[in-house]
C-alpha cells in the first residue's frame, strides 16, 4: 500500500545530524508515511547511517546520486515518491511529533488548501522562536519567509515543474517554489504552532552565501517574475520601505529611496539620485 505522505530527506555529508532527523520522523503521531533519503554524493558515513534505518523499517527508502545540489536532490526524491503529499525535510532539522497529523487533518477538511506550514524553534548556535507570518504573495516577492519544511500536495509540485534547478546558486529553491505556487493562486494554511526545529550552524549552506551570490539569485527571481514585480511595484516599494524602515529613516532624500528601489528592481530611475556602482 502506498503511504499518503512522502518525506524527502536530501543528505550531503550529514553523518552528524541524519540519525536524529530520521528519529524525529519515526516519533510522528501520524504513521502513514515513507521517507526518501537522497544521498547527494556524500563522502562521509551518511550512507551507512541511512542503510541502518532502511534495514529497520521498510518505510525508509535510500538512493545515492552524484552531487548536484539541493534542488536536484529534492526533485529526484519527489520523483521517486509515491505519496499524495510531500514534506521536504533537511537532514539537520527535526519534526515536531504532531506536525504531519495536524497538516493531513487540514488537507482532509479543506480541499482548497495546497500548502500547510507552521512556526519553528531554533536550535544549535541559536535559540528561540521563529514566528512565521501568513503567506502573502507580495511579501514573498520581496523575500522568502517560509522554510522548505512544509507539507504540500504533490500535484502542485508537478504543476509548476518542481524546484527550479537553473538558479545561479543553490539555496533559494524554496523561495522560488513558494513564488511559483503563489503565482497560480495556491492557498497556504498557517498552523499557529511550532511544527519543526530549525538547526542553525556556521557551516549551513545559506551562511556561505556572499553578497554577489545573493544578488545573482535575486536577479534571477526578479527576471523570472518580472510581470508580477511590475504589477505590484507600488505595494512592493511600500513593503520594502517598512522592512528597511530603520535604514530609510537615516536617509534625508525620499527621491533617493524611490530611485534605489526602481534601479534595484527595474533598472531605471526617475530622479537620477541613485547610481549603481559597476
Q: Using 50, 70 and 90 to split pLDDT, how confident is the model at 250? A: very low
- The answer for residues whose C-beta is within 8 angstroms of residue 166's C-beta and 6 or more apart is 220
| Dihedral sign, Cα of residue 249, residue 251, residue 252, residue 255 | negative
Residue 95 lies in a domain: yes
Instruction: Report, as an integer, the average pLDDT of 162-185.
Output: 96
pLDDT at 260: 64
pLDDT at 211: 85
CATH of the domain at 27: 3.90.550.10
Can you tell me whether residue 254 is helix, strand or coil? Answer: helix
pLDDT at 246: 47
pLDDT at 236: 74
Q: Using 50, 70 and 90 to split pLDDT, how confident is the model at 3? A: confident
Q: Is the pLDDT of residue 275 over 60?
A: no
- Rounded CA-CA distance 100/189 in Å is 13
Q: Is the pLDDT of residue 190 over 90?
A: yes
Higher local confidence (pLDDT), 228 or 265: 228
Q: Is the pLDDT of residue 129 over 70?
A: yes
Residue 216 lies in a domain: no
Residue 251 lies in a domain: no
Residue 274 lies in a domain: no
Name beta bridge partners: 121.
129, 197
Q: Is the pLDDT of residue 248 over 80?
A: no
Answer yes or no: are the C-beta atoms of 273 and 259 closer than 8 Å: yes
**Structural domain range at position 81:** 5-207
- Rounded CA-CA distance 160/141 in Å is 17
DSSP string, 135-187: P-HHHHHH---S-S--EEEHHHHHHTTSS---SSSTT-HHHHHHHHHHHTTPE
pLDDT at 243: 63
| Domain total of the chain | 1
**Residue of 99, 96, 60 whose CA lies nearest to 198:** 96
Residue 268 lies in a domain: no
Answer yes or no: are the C-beta atoms of 265 and 236 closer than 8 Å: yes
Residue 241 lies in a domain: no
Instruction: Report, as an integer, the average pLDDT of 106-122.
Output: 98
Q: Using 50, 70 and 90 to split pLDDT, how confident is the model at 217? A: very high
pLDDT at 266: 65
Instruction: Report, as an integer, the average pLDDT of 33-53.
Output: 98
Residue 248 lies in a domain: no
pLDDT at 203: 73
Residue 273 lies in a domain: no
Can you tell me whether residue 103 is helix, strand or coil? Answer: helix
Name beta bridge partners: 64.
39
- Cell numbers at 188, concatenated: 497556504
Instruction: Report, as an integer, the average pLDDT of 28-55.
Output: 98
**Residue of 45, 59, 47, 64 whose CA lies nearest to 6:** 59
pLDDT at 265: 65
Amino acid at each position: 500500500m502506498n503511504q499518503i505522505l512522502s518525506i524527502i530527506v536530501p543528505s550531503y555529508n550529514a553523518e552528524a545530524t541524519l540519525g536524529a532527523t530520521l528519529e524525529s520522523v519515526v516519533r510522528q503521531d501520524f504513521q502513514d508515511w515513507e521517507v526518501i533519503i537522497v544521498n547527494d554524493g556524500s563522502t562521509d558515513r551518511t550512507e551507512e547511517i541511512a542503510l541502518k534505518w532502511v534495514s529497520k523499517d521498510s518505510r525508509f527508502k535510500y538512493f545515492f546520486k552524484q552531487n548536484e545540489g539541493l534542488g536536484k536532490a529534492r526533485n529526484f526524491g519527489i520523483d521517486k515518491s509515491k505519496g499524495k503529499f510531500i514534506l521536504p525535510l533537511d537532514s539537520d532539522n527535526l519534526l515536531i511529533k504532531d506536525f504531519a497529523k495536524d497538516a493531513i487533518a487540514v488537507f482532509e477538511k479543506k480541499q482548497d488548501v495546497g500548502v500547510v506550514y507552521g512556526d519553528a524553534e531554533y536550535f544549535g548556535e541559536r535559540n528561540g522562536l521563529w514566528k512565521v507570518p501568513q503567506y502573502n504573495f507580495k511579501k514573498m516577492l520581496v523575500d522568502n519567509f517560509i522554510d522548505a519544511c512544509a507539507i504540500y500536495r504533490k500535484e502542485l509540485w508537478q504543476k509548476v515543474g518542481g524546484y527550479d534547478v537553473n538558479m545561479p546558486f543553490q539555496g533559494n529553491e524554496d523561495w522560488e517554489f513558494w513564488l511559483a505556487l503563489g503565482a497560480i493562486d495556491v492557498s497556504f494554511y498557517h498552523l499557529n504552532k511550532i511544527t519543526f526545529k530549525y538547526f542553525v550552524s556556521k557551516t549551513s549552506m545559506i551562511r556561505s552565501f556572499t553578497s554577489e551570490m545573493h544578488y545573482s539569485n535575486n536577479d534571477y527571481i526578479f527576471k523570472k517574475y518580472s510581470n508580477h514585480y511590475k504589477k505590484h511595484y507600488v505595494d512592493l516599494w511600500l513593503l520594502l520601505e517598512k522592512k528597511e524602515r530603520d535604514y530609510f529613516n537615516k536617509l534625508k532624500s525620499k527621491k533617493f529611496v524611490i530611485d534605489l528601489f526602481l534601479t534595484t528592481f527595474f533598472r531605471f530611475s526617475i530622479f537620477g539620485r541613485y547610481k549603481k556602482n559597476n
